[in-house]
Chain A
Amino acid sequence: MSESKKVSLPVLGEVDRRTAVKAGAATLGLAAWAAAIKPWFEWTAELNTDEFLQKHYRELSPEQLQAILNRLTDDARKETGKAVTVKDHKPLPGVSFAYALNLSICIGCRKCAEACHVENNHDRPSHQSYIRVFEMQKGGIDFEKGDATYSHPVPAKDKYYMPVQCQQCENPPCVTACPIEATWQESDGIVVVDYYWCIGCRYCEAACPYHARRFNWEKPQVPAAEVNPNQSYLSNRVRPQGVMEKCTFCLHRTREGRLPACLEACPTGARVFGNVLDPDSEIRWVLENKRVFVLKEELGTKPRFYYFFDK
Chain B
Amino acid sequence: MHYAGVTTYYRFLRRSLHVATDGGWLFYAWMLVLTAVALVGANAWAVQVRDGMVRTNMTDHVSWGLYIANFTFCVGLAAGGVMMVIPAYLYHDHDMHEVVIVGEVLAIAAIVMSTLSVVVDLGRPDRFWHLIPVIGKFNWPVSMLTWDIIVLNGYLFINLHVVGYLLYTRFRGRTPDPRWYVPFVLLSIVWAISIHTVTAFLYCGLGGRPFWNTALLAPRFLASAFVSGPAFILLVLRVVRVGTDLPVNPGPSRLLVQIIRVAAVVNLLMLASELFTLFYAGGSHLASARYLFFGDHGKHGLVPWIWSAIALNLIGTGLFFTPAALERGWVRPVACACVIVGIWIEKGMGLIIPGFIPSTLHEVVEYAPSLTEWKVTAGIWAFGLLLLTAMLKVTVAVFTNQMAEPVEAAGPGPTTGS
Name A's B-contacting residues (CB within 8 A).
Answer: 1-2, 14-15, 18, 22, 29, 32-33, 35-40, 42-44, 47, 52, 56, 59, 132, 134, 143-144, 146, 148, 164, 173, 176-182, 197-203, 205-211, 213-219, 240-243, 296, 299-301
Contacts and interface: CB of A to CB of B under 8 A. Distances in A.
A201 B202 CA distance: 13
Interface residues of B, number: 63
Contact of B122 (A32, A201, A214, A299): A201
Contacts of A214: 60
Interface in B26-72: 35, 39-40, 42-43, 45-47, 49-54, 56, 58-61, 63-64
A200 B131 CA distance: 12
A18 B22 contact: yes
Scoring B40, B46, B131, B142 by chain A CB atoms within 10 A of each residue's CB, the highest score goes to B46
Contacts of A181: 137, 139
Interface string B397-414: 000000001101000010
B366 interface: no
Interface of B: 14, 21-22, 35, 39-40, 42-43, 45-47, 49-54, 56, 58-61, 63-64, 118, 121-128, 130-131, 136-139, 142-146, 149, 202, 206-209, 287, 355-356, 358-363, 405-406, 408, 413
A215 B46 contact: no
A182 B145 CA distance: 13
B287 A144 contact: yes
Given A32-B39, A207-B208, A179 B50 contact: no
A206 B143 contact: no
Please provide the 10 A-B residue pairs with the shortest distance between their CB atoms, ordered closest to farther: A200-B123, A209-B208, A242-B123, A218-B52, A43-B50, A143-B362, A179-B145, A39-B46, A36-B43, A40-B46
Given A199-B124, A199-B130, A215 B53 contact: yes
Contacts of A43: 46, 49-50
A214 B209 CA distance: 17
25 contacts: A1-B14, A15-B406, A22-B21, A22-B22, A43-B50, A44-B126, A56-B137, A132-B361, A179-B145, A198-B124, A199-B127, A200-B123, A200-B124, A202-B63, A203-B145, A203-B202, A207-B208, A208-B208, A209-B208, A211-B360, A211-B363, A213-B60, A215-B60, A215-B123, A241-B52
Contacts of A134: 361
Contacts of A200: 53, 122-124
B63 to A, nearest CB: 4
A178 B51 CA distance: 24
Given A173-B206, A241-B123, A205 B60 contact: yes
Given A15-B413, A173-B208, A40 B49 contact: yes
A205 to B, nearest CB: 4
Contacts, number: 175
A15 B415 CA distance: 12
A301 B131 CA distance: 26
B52 A47 contact: no
A206 B64 contact: yes
Contact of A243 (B50, B124, B144, B145): B124
Contact of B360 (A197, A209, A215): A209
Contacts of B42: 33, 36-37
A217 B53 contact: yes
Nearest to A1: B14
Contacts of B143: 176-179, 203
Contacts of B40: 36
Nearest to A144: B362
B361 A180 contact: no
B331 to A, nearest CB: 38
Contacts of A15: 406, 413
A18 B28 CA distance: 12
Nearest to A43: B50
Contacts of A164: 361
B361 A216 contact: no
Contacts of B144: 177
Contacts of A148: 361, 363
B52 A219 contact: yes
Contact of B49 (A33, A39, A143, A201): A39
B36 to A, nearest CB: 9
Scoring A37, A47, A301 by chain B CB atoms within 10 A of each residue's CB, the highest score goes to A37
A210 B360 contact: yes
Given A36-B40, A201-B118, A215-B63, 16 more contacts: A14-B413, A15-B413, A18-B22, A29-B35, A146-B362, A148-B361, A177-B143, A181-B137, A182-B137, A198-B123, A201-B123, A201-B145, A206-B64, A206-B209, A211-B359, A299-B207
A210 to B, nearest CB: 6
Nearest to A148: B363
A142 B18 CA distance: 65
Contacts of A39: 43, 46-47, 49-51
A52 B138 CA distance: 17
A100 to B, nearest CB: 19
B311 to A, nearest CB: 29
Given A198-B124, A202-B123, A203-B145, A42 B50 contact: yes
A201 B362 contact: no
B137 A180 contact: yes
Given A33-B42, A197-B127, A218 B53 contact: yes
A216 B122 CA distance: 12
A216 B52 contact: yes
Contacts of A242: 52-53, 122-124
A200 B47 CA distance: 16
A299 B145 contact: no
A301 B145 CA distance: 20
A217 B54 contact: yes
Nearest to A132: B361
B416 to A, nearest CB: 13
A217 B58 contact: yes
B59 to A, nearest CB: 8
Contacts of B128: 199
Contacts of A182: 130, 137
Nearest to B39: A36
B408 to A, nearest CB: 7
